[in-house]
Homo-oligomer: A and B are copies of this chain.
Amino acid sequence: MTSSLQAALDPGSIAVIGASENPDKIGGRPLLYLSQFGFRGEVWPVNPRRDEVQGRRTVPRLSGLSRAPDLAIIAVPGEAAVAALDECAEIGVKVAIMMASGFGETADPAAKAAERAMVARARARGLRMIGPNSQGLANFGTGAVASFSSMFLEAPPQDGPVGIVSQSGAMSVVPYGLLRARGIGVRHTHATGNDADVTVCELAAAVAADPALKLLLLYLESIPDPHHLAEAAAIARDRGLPIVALKSGRTAAGQAAAQSHTGALANEDRLVDAFLERHGIWRARDTTDLVAAAELYLKGWRPEGRRMVAISNSGATCVMAADAASQAGLDLAPLEEGTQGRLRAILPSFAATRNPVDITAALMTNSALFSQILPVIAEDPSADAFLVGVPVAGRAYAVDDFGRDTAAFAQATGKPVVIVAPQAIVAAPFRSRGLPVFSGEGEAVRALYQFIAHHERIREAAGRPPHPAPPPPAKAPPRLLDEAESLDRLARAGLPVVRHRLCRTAEEAVAAADAIGGPVAVKGCSAEVAHKSELGLVHLGVRGAEAVRTAFAACRAALEEAGHAASGVIVAAMARGRREWVLGAHRDPFFGPVVVVGEGGKYVEAMPDVALLLPPFAEADVARALGRLRLAPLIDGVRGEAPLAIQPYLAAAVAVGRLMTSEPGIASLDVNPMLVGSEPGECLALDAVVFVEGSVP
């Protein structure tokens, strides 16, 4: 597979089917680019009506070629495109880029079927297809620019350390344009369109193998094949190549729009978050965000911590940088007392030396202050990263020295530095020395946070075992186990389960209550009832033989009245922890098994405070996920409460993850409430609903 895609990225020969003399036509643009950007392989225009296009000899049909091209660009529309694809398969082309629209992205079932059929025919003969509805691929390392984008006319390319792989044509080149405007070189700019055969994720895996890359950007409207993305992430992690992905279709409105754009299938957005995090991929919110931190990635910095020091000639920059750091999740640790003393000896008495360091407007009359303080700060071990803000300067300031000295400072410390300089004249001397410059404190701090937190995420992702593939579509609807079976299944998986007994008779129930001791819960048990309370099947705090008998009878009667087959009546210990949690799992059609942890109770859907985890995962992963939830403060105890004994819950979550990966027959499970208290023994599953695949007993 990868070798075919290698042929798409670095083809020895390219045929253009529907080659046009007009470089502003879809069939003419790639020919222009192949000439203009120095492609050194062979180029064969195919056109039955002309002998020559754009100075190159044509062939009338693909079959007229003496040998098959590595790559064919299909720039004809509709049925002619389908015929051309078949012809490519016939003669042994390795990869075809199908630029025609009007297939899977439309609402027309016939067009969708045509897309599926042509993919099947191509695959049967070993031909890989990119598209349809693809703007094409562009590799500025080889000059293989098989794309009709207008962008390369407007923003001249330059080979460089960034790769972009996108479903959308526009989003393959908009980040390119933004990066080029900042002087950053881009090697790969690929648009895969409808992803009917080769997907953006599969192509990303091929691109990630390029050793020249330092940053890989992705734009996706759907992730139907997470395993390809996981593979790309693994290749990238091995090479130290960070991936930043913009996955759109976050909202229902966006998913509806994506459906008519590239025929994208809808992913559950919280799972996209969980999946990307698991694999060390940073998720960008929008286009600006996608490229915001690019310069930081290209510097070779390896961030080690979250402590930022801010330095500015403006107190307001200091305040706003401190606000932004706190809000993003960076710390502003004070500089060491010795450092502060040395700074006080340099700066005016009204300057601030703690952190942020405020040089004040005194910089206007003495530009040397800037150069004098940087070496002092460089020697302080308190910082992991720096923000240097010069929001206003000009004629009276030695701005070129500021750029020079900051570059030397960055070199000396080896730590990340971001610059805030909204004025072009101030930005220039920093930018010309390769430092990342931002026009506002917010942007600078958020980029720095992303860079640091992304590296943390990559380190966490290293060595994680692979996530299992999603299940094949179920043949029959899943089947509910009754509560006793559900609890037993979970107990066997290692979960702490409330002490209980399934009773067939009232006397068994009385005996069970006696054995358990104290007041008990008496609950009607049926594999036909998932929600017991509504049917009056739950009796709590039942105490004494007579009360147990009454509750038993009430449960039987209620089940009978509702017409549900009874498995019996459960008698269980009454238990209470300090809070009700949930522990659930299901299988996502794209992402496979998913475990849900967080707050339980009745309002899990209405007011969710849960995290999603993709197994297998470790207790530390669960703890990290819980730490970001609203209820996180409760774990350590608030208002004089003892801390929660959370470890058994973490272990239970890991056990559920293991169960879901090892027993494909379990469709879903929902433990709600799962109690967590101050003592480890208080962690108990009180109720459970397990669904199994219909075919599994």
A residues apposed to B, CB below 8 Å:
24-26, 101-102, 105-106, 108, 133, 135, 148-151, 153-155, 166-171, 173-174, 177-178, 181, 219, 221, 248-254, 256-258, 260-262, 285-289, 313-327, 332, 348-350, 352, 354, 356, 358, 360-361, 364-365, 391-397, 422-425, 439-443, 534, 602-603, 605-607, 630-631, 633-634, 638-640
Rounded to whole Å, the gap between the CB of A441 and the closest CB of chain B is 6
Q: Which residues of B lie under 8 Å from residue A150 when comparing CB positions? A: 364, 392-397
Rounded to whole Å, the gap between the CB of A222 and the closest CB of chain B is 10
Question: CB distance A287 to B254 under 8 Å?
Answer: no
Question: CB distance A253 to B135 under 8 Å?
Answer: no
Question: CB distance A325 to B155 under 8 Å?
Answer: no
Question: CB distance A392 to B170 under 8 Å?
Answer: yes
Question: CB distance B261 to A315 under 8 Å?
Answer: yes
Task: Give Cα distance in the complex from A339 to B252, angstroms.
Answer: 23
Contact of A319 among B151, B221, B332, B364 (CB under 8 A): B221
Question: CB distance A322 to B253 under 8 Å?
Answer: yes
Chain B, Cβ-Cβ closest to A248? B319
Most central of A248, A349, A634, A640 by chain B CB within 10 Å? A248
Q: Which residues of B lie under 8 Å from residue A256 when comparing CB positions? A: 322
Question: CB distance A364 to B173 under 8 Å?
Answer: no
30 contacts across the A-B interface (CB closer than 8 A): A24-B365, A25-B365, A26-B365, A101-B361, A106-B349, A106-B350, A168-B314, A169-B314, A170-B316, A177-B392, A177-B423, A248-B320, A249-B319, A250-B326, A250-B327, A253-B322, A253-B332, A254-B322, A257-B352, A257-B356, A257-B358, A286-B442, A287-B439, A287-B440, A287-B441, A288-B443, A603-B638, A603-B639, A606-B638, A630-B630
Q: Which residues of B lie under 8 Å from residue A317 when comparing CB positions? A: 170
Chain B, Cβ-Cβ closest to A173? B392
Task: Give Cα distance in the complex from A23 to B531, angstroms.
Answer: 80
Question: CB distance A101 to B261 under 8 Å?
Answer: no
Q: Which residues of B lie under 8 Å from residue A354 when comparing CB positions? A: 260
Task: Give Cα distance in the complex from A148 to B169, angstroms.
Answer: 49
Chain B, Cβ-Cβ closest to A325? B253
Task: Give Cα distance in the complex from A121 to B424, angstroms.
Answer: 44
Contact of A24 among B24, B135, B319, B364 (CB under 8 A): B364
Q: Which residues of B lie under 8 Å from residue A393 when comparing CB positions? A: 150
Chain B, Cβ-Cβ closest to A24? B396
Q: Which residues of B lie under 8 Å from residue A170 when comparing CB positions? A: 313-317, 391-392
Question: CB distance B392 to A254 under 8 Å?
Answer: no
Known A154-B425, A319-B261, A364-B150; contact A350-B394, beta-carbon cutoff 8 A:
no
Question: CB distance B253 to A154 under 8 Å?
Answer: no
Count the copies: 2
Known A177-B423, A639-B606; contact A105-B350, beta-carbon cutoff 8 A:
yes
Known A102-B349, A360-B101, A396-B150; contact A422-B178, beta-carbon cutoff 8 A:
yes
Question: CB distance A261 to B352 under 8 Å?
Answer: yes
Q: Which residues of B lie under 8 Å from residue A155 when comparing CB positions? A: 423
Rounded to whole Å, the gap between the CB of A536 and the closest CB of chain B is 15
Q: Which residues of B lie under 8 Å from residue A289 when comparing CB positions? A: 442
Q: Which residues of B lie under 8 Å from residue A168 when comparing CB positions? A: 314-316, 319
Q: Please give me the 7 A-B residue pairs with the lowest Cβ-Cβ distance, nearest first.
A: A261-B315, A286-B442, A168-B316, A254-B323, A170-B314, A251-B326, A150-B394
Rounded to whole Å, the gap between the CB of A179 and the closest CB of chain B is 11
Q: Which residues of B lie under 8 Å from residue A323 when comparing CB positions? A: 248-251, 253-254
Task: Give Cα distance in the complex from A349 to B107, angstroms.
Answer: 10
Q: Which residues of B lie under 8 Å from residue A153 when comparing CB positions? A: 394-395
Question: CB distance B316 to A286 under 8 Å?
Answer: no
Task: Give Cα distance in the complex from A555 to B258, angstroms.
Answer: 66
Task: Give Cα distance in the complex from A26 to B364, angstroms.
Answer: 9
Q: Which residues of B lie under 8 Å from residue A534 when comparing CB positions? A: 640
Task: Give Cα distance in the complex from A251 to B330, angstroms.
Answer: 12
11 further contact pairs, Cβ within 8 A, besides A133-B350, A154-B423, A287-B439 = A24-B395, A154-B394, A168-B315, A170-B314, A254-B322, A257-B319, A262-B315, A603-B633, A603-B639, A605-B639, A606-B639
Q: Which residues of B lie under 8 Å from residue A286 when comparing CB positions? A: 320, 324, 440-443
Most central of A177, A425, A634 by chain B CB within 10 Å? A177
Task: Give Cα distance in the complex from A639 to B148, angstroms.
Answer: 52
Task: Give Cα distance in the complex from A603 to B325, angstroms.
Answer: 27
Most central of A251, A254, A364 by chain B CB within 10 Å? A254
Task: Give Cα distance in the complex from A133 to B362, angstroms.
Answer: 11
Rounded to whole Å, the gap between the CB of A610 and the closest CB of chain B is 13
Question: CB distance B254 to A603 under 8 Å?
Answer: no
Question: CB distance A350 to B102 under 8 Å?
Answer: yes
Rounded to whole Å, the gap between the CB of A250 and the closest CB of chain B is 5
Question: CB distance A287 to B319 under 8 Å?
Answer: no
Chain B, Cβ-Cβ closest to A364? B150
Question: CB distance A261 to B358 under 8 Å?
Answer: yes
Rounded to whole Å, the gap between the CB of A23 and the closest CB of chain B is 9
Task: Give Cα distance in the complex from A254 to B330, angstroms.
Answer: 12
Question: CB distance A319 to B254 under 8 Å?
Answer: yes
Known A352-B257, A639-B606; contact A326-B361, beta-carbon cutoff 8 A:
no
Task: Give Cα distance in the complex from A253 to B325, angstroms.
Answer: 8
Q: Which residues of B lie under 8 Å from residue A634 when comparing CB positions? A: 603, 606-607
Chain B, Cβ-Cβ closest to A150? B394
Task: Give Cα distance in the complex from A395 to B251, angstroms.
Answer: 34
Q: Which residues of B lie under 8 Å from residue A442 when comparing CB positions? A: 285-289
Question: CB distance A391 to B361 under 8 Å?
Answer: no
Rounded to whole Å, the gap between the CB of A160 and the closest CB of chain B is 19
Q: Which residues of B lie under 8 Å from residue A250 when comparing CB positions? A: 323, 326-327
Chain B, Cβ-Cβ closest to A394? B150
Task: Give Cα distance in the complex from A170 to B312, angstroms.
Answer: 11
Task: Give Cα distance in the complex from A169 to B316, angstroms.
Answer: 8
Q: Which residues of B lie under 8 Å from residue A424 when comparing CB positions? A: 181
Task: Give Cα distance in the complex from A24 to B249, angstroms.
Answer: 53
Question: CB distance A261 to B316 under 8 Å?
Answer: yes
Question: CB distance A602 to B251 under 8 Å?
Answer: no
